[in-house]
Structure 1
Amino acid sequence: MANIIPTVTLNDGNTIPQLGFGVFQISPADSTEAVRRALDIGYRHIDTAQGYGNEAEVGQGVRTAGLAREEVYLTSKLNNNAHRPADARAAFQASLDALRTDYLDLFLIHWPVPTRYDGDFVSTWKVLEEFKADGRARSIGVSNFQVPHLERLAAETEVVPAVNQIEAHPYLSNDEVRAYGAKNGIVTEAWSPIAQGAVLDDPTITDIAAQLGRTPAQVVLRWHIQRGDVVFPKSVTPTRMAENFQIFDFALDEATMERITRLDRGEDGRTGPHPDTFG
């Protein structure tokens, strides 16, 4: 069943499953079973982070599912307290050890943390370039980077991020950052794809869902897929996990896509911290 998930080709030639399973705010105690169940349903992309505190349990979930390592796309992210080069190297190895793998498919700088380390995420990025060069990270990218952050990387480093994982959903389309990514070959990954559930009661979304005989979550996730976003909803509820996977047997027409896009509230729609000040 996993082969129904479309893939997106990254700027380094690697591919990434467009739908994944996120484990943010899933407790370590629940993460192993959640990952195993997600893989049983058909997910093949698992998104975790050092800051989530559940890398070891995610790795156990992959092993419990009985899949070969190369069948599962694994992403993790650098913790905000490990941006200095020596700290980043140690933290990356700790992720490999916790997940019990010798490589990651994708490794990200989790936040630019511009108020720390004199804002020197550039030196951190150069360390990630080392991980890519030695093969321990097949692809490298960033998360929560704004256009000025990306422009600085472009001016001062050699490797263009493969992805930028940002908050994006119908209430925060984040189109300026997405447009920069599209122009420069950086794939957008959307975190909080349903605005922490806020959009699921929106009258536009519920109306579209009723017309299509789908759930509001399915409608919003399908909107992301058709925009080209990589998306990874999270849930520990088996029925919801399966529901979120069932978005490839219908499509939204252009008018419906536009109805959802018009829900954008700009910065007023943001549910998480702003990358310019967080950290």
Structure 2
Amino acid sequence: MKNQYDIPQMGFGTFARKGGDGIEAMLVALETGYRHLDTAQDYGTETEVGQAVQRSGLNRDDVFITTKIATGNLGAGALISSLRQSLDNLQVDQLDLTLIHWPSPNNAVPLAVYIEQLAEAHELGLTRLIGVSNFTIAMLEEAQAILGDLKIANNQFELNPLLQNKKLANYCIKMGISVTCYLPIARGILGGVPEIAQIAARHGATPEQVALAFEFAKGYIAIPTSSRADRIRSNYLATKLVLSAAEIATIETVDRGQRVIDPAWGPDWD
């Protein structure tokens, strides 16, 4: 399952997947069928991602790799060199997608400074697609105005049945910006939501599979992670789960606006 930018909808998040155990988890994901690995400069897992792809035996073109620029690398002249380091860590010549991980905290670096560098990275061929993460509608509009004809391909933000972020997600879809959901299975607490538990039972599925299937039905990309092989494989089965329109409507009613990642210096959310 891919979207208009050929980004596989089912991705594997690599936060905390460090060292040998992290590489093994990524290898399980790739063996299972995941073809999208999501990393970030701040995760410290780019080297593991590179090694996992190398060890998997898959061709580079078969694995979609996303990284995210750390807030410490947004200043003038910093982004390009940091991205070149990411490419070295990953042992690749080009990223598939490069995101700004967070808007500069408290706007310490003006948005134009790092968006222009992101465009330069694209022009240099360091990344095939560009995008952002944790950007509000106002920030997306400002960034796109700076970029002109170069499209923002993706906005990655917290989204799951308990935080559906409908205003932002709907805006992105309307503007042709793909949506990637982080914390897409809400850290495993969805079994405590009766509506989701009932849908899961009806399908002989897990609550996590139901959440992912809901996100895929909306056209979103999701990047669950786990260190456990059984959960990595179980989550992947969501790609085969088809929910009815009534079930999707039911899940839409459980939105609690329940945000988990909310730093004091973060943006004013939509």
For residues 1-279 of structure 1, what are the structure 2 equivalents within 5 Å?
6-10=1-5, 15-118=6-109, 120-158=110-148, 159-266=150-257, 269-273=258-262, 275-276=266-267
Aligned-partner Cα distance in 2 for 1:78–1:230:
19
Aligned-partner Cα distance in 1 for 2:241–2:168:
28
Aligned-partner Cα distance in 2 for 1:74–1:99:
9
Moved more, 33-42 or 101-110: 33-42
Unmatched tracts of structure 2, length 5 or more: none
Q: CA deviation at 1:277?
A: 6.1
Q: CA deviation at 1:133?
A: 1.6
The answer as to whether partners of 1:131 and 1:137 remain within 8 angstroms in 2 is yes
Aligned-partner Cα distance in 2 for 1:8–1:167:
19
Q: CA deviation at 1:237?
A: 0.8
Aligned-partner Cα distance in 2 for 1:112–1:73:
24
For 1:152, give the aligned amino acid. E
TM-score (norm 1): 0.91
For 2:124, give the aligned amino acid. D
Q: Counterpart of 2:3 in 1: which secondary structure?
A: strand
Aligned-partner Cα distance in 1 for 2:107–2:20:
32
> Percent identity between the aligned chains?
37
Aligned-partner Cα distance in 1 for 2:162–2:174:
23
Give the CA RMSD over aligned residues. Answer: 1.5
The answer as to whether partners of 2:195 and 2:251 remain within 8 angstroms in 1 is yes
Moved more, 227-236 or 121-130: 121-130
The answer as to whether partners of 2:84 and 2:126 remain within 8 angstroms in 1 is no
Q: Counterpart of 2:240 in 1: which secondary structure?
A: coil
For 1:111, give the aligned amino acid. W
Aligned-partner Cα distance in 2 for 1:126–1:64:
35
The answer as to whether partners of 1:19 and 1:230 remain within 8 angstroms in 2 is yes
TM-score (norm 2): 0.94
The answer as to whether partners of 2:94 and 2:127 remain within 8 angstroms in 1 is yes
Q: Counterpart of 1:257 in 2: which secondary structure?
A: helix
Q: CA deviation at 1:29?
A: 3.9
Q: Structure 1: which 4+ aligned runs deviate by more than 6 Å?
A: none
Aligned-partner Cα distance in 2 for 1:87–1:277:
26
Q: Counterpart of 2:48 in 1: which secondary structure?
A: helix
The answer as to whether partners of 2:18 and 2:45 remain within 8 angstroms in 1 is yes
The answer as to whether partners of 1:114 and 1:121 remain within 8 angstroms in 2 is no
Q: CA deviation at 1:116?
A: 4.1
Aligned-partner Cα distance in 1 for 2:108–2:92:
30
Q: CA deviation at 1:239?
A: 0.9
The answer as to whether partners of 1:122 and 1:157 remain within 8 angstroms in 2 is no
Q: CA deviation at 1:200?
A: 2.9
Aligned-partner Cα distance in 2 for 1:187–1:277:
21
Unmatched tracts of structure 1, length 5 or more: 1-5
Q: CA deviation at 1:114?
A: 4.1
Aligned-partner Cα distance in 2 for 1:29–1:250:
32
For 1:208, give the aligned amino acid. I
Q: CA deviation at 1:129?
A: 0.9
Q: CA deviation at 1:36?
A: 1.3
Aligned-partner Cα distance in 2 for 1:172–1:229:
14
